[in-house]
Structure 1
């Protein structure tokens, strides 16, 4: 049976070439769509790693002209006390510009045992940073006041960086260096990953470096955790207070809930547009497959009539057309899988291989279902052809 089907397919290879090309292009498009969907879904399932509700970001232009480091540190301590004096504010922490859900990035490079690690997210934090976000420690501890007297500079890293550098073993107490290996840090703690780029992206390797006095020269962001009673009226009072405290500064207050929504929308909307375009393409492909199969039936009426005349049943004729379509789909998918498998082998876009492999499997299932459904009705119509009428027309 299979040998006979392959002979029929080979004899009509010119007519089947368009069919194969359509399926190949469709498979590659569906593979791309499923790759995005699987990647985003896998990241979405991972825990967020922090709590963003009731956290506000205060961005201000640093107009402070104080040159003395001690005086500058005292100025920011007074600003912190001023904010904490408000009953609606529970936590205050100054930080770098790359706060969660912002479009700011700060990366650095590190070494461990001579091996270099690049593109590591670098967060500049204070002691209250962890409690403000309610970050979870999976190993070691967070910064405290005793770290000032440490022999080595203390450093907190996240789980992703720990796995890259130290695998499944402990990281606390290990030393890591700068790219030039001139500076050494001692790992004192490991935090759970924070998905700072939105719900659909991984956290990536990160370090949480404690700010020193000199950092206040360029620090222009304050994070505050407010109580549930903080409303728009309080935000207005807070803005007026900051305007009077930070003279000649442009002040912007943003809610992390709004920043998270905007960040996720920036990911979801392009994906929806891509899926709609792919959906229209699949509809056109389905109509094209249906039309090709219908055309083949009309061209093969004499062949079908002859088969029916020598005893072939209607189901047998219908199954033959379905099997032919599935064989053509298999041939096209074989070529498509050859191209698709290159993505996990070459580690394209630095995405886990499991994403591509799952996308290949889902794309194959989708194409098989599409071909099967498109061939059912033409196969049924072929089975209904009466042998005497078909042979008489011929």
Structure 2
């Protein structure tokens, strides 16, 4: 059976080569789409790591400049008490500019125990950051006043950095830093990785430093945890409070909920564009395959009529056309899978291998399903050809 089908395919190798090429291109495009979809889905399944609801961001430019550290701390501590005294404010914290869902980054690298960690995010936070963001503490503790005086600077790392450096070991109490650094950091806590880039993109490892006496010179953002019922009227009151206190500063208030929506939209744009291109390509391939099969039926009416005349059933004729299409798809998928398999083997784009494997499997299933659907109706039409009519036309 298969030997006969391969012989029929080989006799029309030029025409079938174009079909195989179309299926191959479709597979490669679908592989890119499904790989990106699985990458987004796997990231989406991970916990957010913090509570972004009812958290507002106050952006300001640091207009108060003084060489006296005590005066600087007093100025911003007074601002903290002023904002916190407002009726709908639960807690506030001063942070570095690379807040969640922000385009600002502060990245570095780290080589620890021979392992190189890239795109390491560095954050500067206060003791109040834990309450404002409601972070999930996995090991150890959060920052407190005891961290001011210590032989090694205390830090908090997230789960991604812990896995990249310490693996399954406990990280609390251990020193972390470049292998050639003498002054390493001491880990006092591990938190759930915060999805700072939105729901669909990988956050990357993070390291958190505690603010010191001179941090207010460059900090320019405040995170404010407000009541659930805080509205635009309260936002206006908060803005006036900031503007009256910081006379010469440019003040802007944003909501983390809205920033998350913007971050997700920005992440989905490439996916949407690729999906639209893929949809047009798949439709063209489906129409082309359907048309070629329809043309083949009309060209092979004599052959089909002869087979029916010598006893072939309509189901066997339909099965032959469907089988030919599935064999062509298999040939295309073998070639496409070979090229797609190079991505996880060569670690292209630094994605987990499982993402590529899932993309390959979904693409194979989709192409098979597409070919099956496109060949069923022409096969049904071929099965309905009467032997006498076909031979008479021939």
Q: Structure 1 length normalisation: TM-score?
A: 0.97
Helix, strand or coil: the match of 1:213? coil
| Shift, 1:114, TM fit | 4.6
Corresponding residue SS for 2:29: helix
Q: Are the counterparts in 1 of residues 297 and 378 from structure 2 also a CA contact under 8 Å?
A: yes
Structure 2 residue runs without a partner (length 5+):
none
For the structure 1 residues 372 and 264, does the alpha-carbon distance in structure 2 shift closer, same or farther, using more than 3 Å as the test?
Answer: same
**More displaced stretch, 19-28 vs 112-121:** 112-121
Mapping of 1:150-169 within 5 angstroms?
A: 150-169=150-169
Equivalent residue, structure 1, for 2:238 = 238
2: distance between equivalents of 1:179 and 1:217?
Answer: 31
Larger displacement relative to structure 2 (295-304 or 328-337) = 295-304
Deviation (angstroms), 1:262: 1.2
**Which deviations, in whole Å up to 9, do the C-alpha atoms of 1:200-237 show, x marking residues without a partner?**
12221101111212222111111111122322111111
Contact 1:108–1:121 (CA<8 Å) still a contact in 2?
Answer: yes
| 1:352 equivalent in alignment to 2:355 | no
1:230-309 alignment runs, 5 A limit: 230-309=230-309
SS at match of 1:372: helix
Matching residue of 1:214? 214
Aligned residues of 2:34 and 2:362 also touching (Cα < 8 A): yes
Deviations 1:224-256 (A, max 9, x none): 111223221111111111111112110000011
Deviation string 1:157-182 (CA, Å, 9 cap, x unpaired) is 00011001011111111111247615
Q: Which residue of 1 aligns with 2:6?
A: 6
Equivalent pair of 1:156/1:187 in contact (CA under 8 Å): yes
Matched, 1:185 2:185: yes
Q: Which residue of 2 aligns with 1:54?
A: 54
Instruction: Give yes or no for contact 2:62–2:249 (8 Å, CA) kept in 1.
Output: yes
For residue 332 of structure 1, report the CA deviation from its aligned partner: 0.3
More deviation, 72-81/16-25 = 72-81
Shift of 1:187: 0.6
Structure 1 residue runs of 5 or longer lacking an equivalent are none
Deviates more, 1:297-306 or 1:45-54: 297-306
Decide whether the 8 Å contact of 2:52 with 2:133 is kept in 1: yes
Alignment RMSD: 1.4
Structure 2 length as normaliser, TM-score?
Answer: 0.97
**Aligned counterparts of 1:346 and 1:285: Cα–Cα separation in 2:** 30
